[in-house]
Amino acid sequence: MPGIASHMVVAKLVGEKLKLNSDDFIRGNIMPDILLENCFLSHHKIKGKLYLVPDIKYWKDNLDFNDNKELAYFTHLLLDFYFLEDYVPEKVKNKNAFCDKSIYRDYDILNKKLLKRFDLDKKSIKRILTKTTENIDKKKLLYNLSCLDKNQDGKLKNLDEEDFSLFLINISQKISEEIIEYASKPSKLSIHFRQ
């Protein structure tokens, strides 16, 4: 799964597209990674091409799309899904990048760059995320917040900054379109997004 800065970039871009820039939407975009439940339950994973990935059909059928936090939760899961199913197999040469943890070093290098590139305010993000109290693992939350402070320098081993930034932009558009599609199904959603 991509790092916290990536999730905050997508939260911003999807939130702007769907007019959902509330604190709840921002908080919801990190919830799957900080819940008390184990990772499998918080993401409800199934076997993907290379890794376990969120079961998007399960979540489409079980989330309340009238709730900004649940829309954000779904946004997070969609980013994880497309990153693991599409980006990693095509763009990451080292398929062991998660096992050898080298991809996490890349996240540490990219976090500061992504925040700057997409004009995200780290203090504002931290303020919003620390207001999260329901069913969270405080250690996981503090770990994710600490990742925003890392000023790791060095050469990226698994990700290319330009290519990955473009992926985040493109996938935000795709996620927005998918949410709009789900919103058009009367059984799931009664709100209407302004485009």
Is-contact 36 137, C-beta < 8 A? Answer: yes
Confidence (pLDDT) at 186: 55
pLDDT tens for the 195 residues of the chain, in order: 889 999 999 999 999 999 987 888 998 898 888 888 655 456 777 677 877 788 888 878 777 777 888 899 899 999 999 999 999 999 998 888 888 999 999 999 999 999 999 999 999 999 988 887 678 888 988 988 899 888 788 899 999 999 999 999 999 999 999 988 876 665 444 333 333
Confidence (pLDDT) at 185: 64
Is-contact 95 84, C-beta < 8 A? Answer: no
How does DSSP classify residue 52?
E
Contacts by residues 134-140 (CB-CB < 8 Å, ≥ 24 positions apart)? 135/35, 135/36, 135/37, 136/31, 136/34, 136/35, 136/36, 137/34, 137/35, 137/36, 140/33, 140/34, 140/35
3-state secondary structure of 133: coil
Q: How far apart are the first and last CA of the chain?
A: 29
